[in-house]
Amino acid sequence: GGGEEGARIRQVVAKMQPLTRAILILVVGRKMSVAEVSLRFGMREERVCRHYRAAVGEVAARCDANGVT
């Protein structure tokens, strides 16, 4: 779903680094906490947060560039 805006977001997500994309999908799509993702991947929560912020930043930057709200 999501129409044209959703398609643009999916394109941005598809181009992300695999770990960054996986973290975004788990936090947003599966509604996992940072702590849960940290345990799943065996990495510090700070690193999970960095990847998540990077992913959200990429999507937001692309939406801003394309005039999507």
Among candidate residues 30, 33, 29, 22, the one with its CA nearest the CA of residue 55: 22
- pLDDT above 90 (res 4): no
Residues 58/26, Cβ–Cβ less than 8 Å: no
Q: List pLDDT tens digits, range 20-41.
A: 999 999 999 999 999 999 999 9
pLDDT at 6: 85
pLDDT at 67: 66
Residues 58/16, Cβ–Cβ less than 8 Å: yes
